Amino acid sequence: MLQRLIADFQESTGHAVRLTSLAIAAAVGLFVTTSFLCAAAFVAVLNRYGLVAACLTGAAIFFVVTLVAAMSYMARKRAIAIRAARTAETARSAVQSAFADPMLLASGLQIVRMIGIKRLIPILAVGGLALGFMVSRQAVEEQTPAE
């Protein structure tokens, strides 16, 4: 069990490192390309209209790029918030329907009477930790794209 957990962690870490290095390489390439395009636009406007117009053109280009990046960031953040709200709502409705079942409540009361409150608290704490790990692991698996 622990060996499988460690192997899954190593595999996911390896994927994350590879994807991060590819993203960094793409970002560097995009930065160099953008730098040369901006330099070419600056020189072209400088030769035709002068220094002030060239600087204002460069500022306008970077302003537009910044606006596009900000809008995409806001859209992505909103999509993530909507997805998290849907997931939480689904989980909440499942838990509420389980706790609304009278047989489940009766069984829970019998277990509490049989074991006792003082012995049940550490068991519930360990169970809560295990449930938390299980839910976080499922959330990570849902977020990783299928290959």
Q: Is residue 4 part of a domain?
A: no
Q: Do 33 and 64 have their domain in common?
A: yes
Are residues 132 and 75 part of one domain? no
In this prediction, residue 99 carries a pLDDT of: 67
Task: Tell me the backbone φ, ψ of residue 57, rounded to 5 degrees.
Answer: -65, -45
Decide if pLDDT at 94 tops 60: yes
| pLDDT tier for residue 11 given thresholds of 50, 70 and 90 | confident
Place of tokens 């003082």: 118
Query: Which is more confident, 22 or 100?
Result: 22
Range of the domain at 135: 101-147
* Same domain as 77, residue 54: yes
Q: Is the pLDDT of residue 145 over 60?
A: no
Query: Do 94 and 106 share a structural domain?
Result: no
pTM of the model: 0.45
Same domain, 90 and 105: no
* Number of domains, the chain: 2
Question: Are 136 and 81 within one domain?
Answer: no
Encode pLDDT of 25-58 as tens digits.
998 999 899 889 889 989 999 999 999 999 998 8
| Average pLDDT score over residue span 107-130 | 81
The answer to whether residue 5 scores a pLDDT higher than 60 is yes
**What is the pLDDT at residue 25?**
92
- Domain assignment present for residue 136? The answer is yes
Same structural domain, 93 and 108:
no
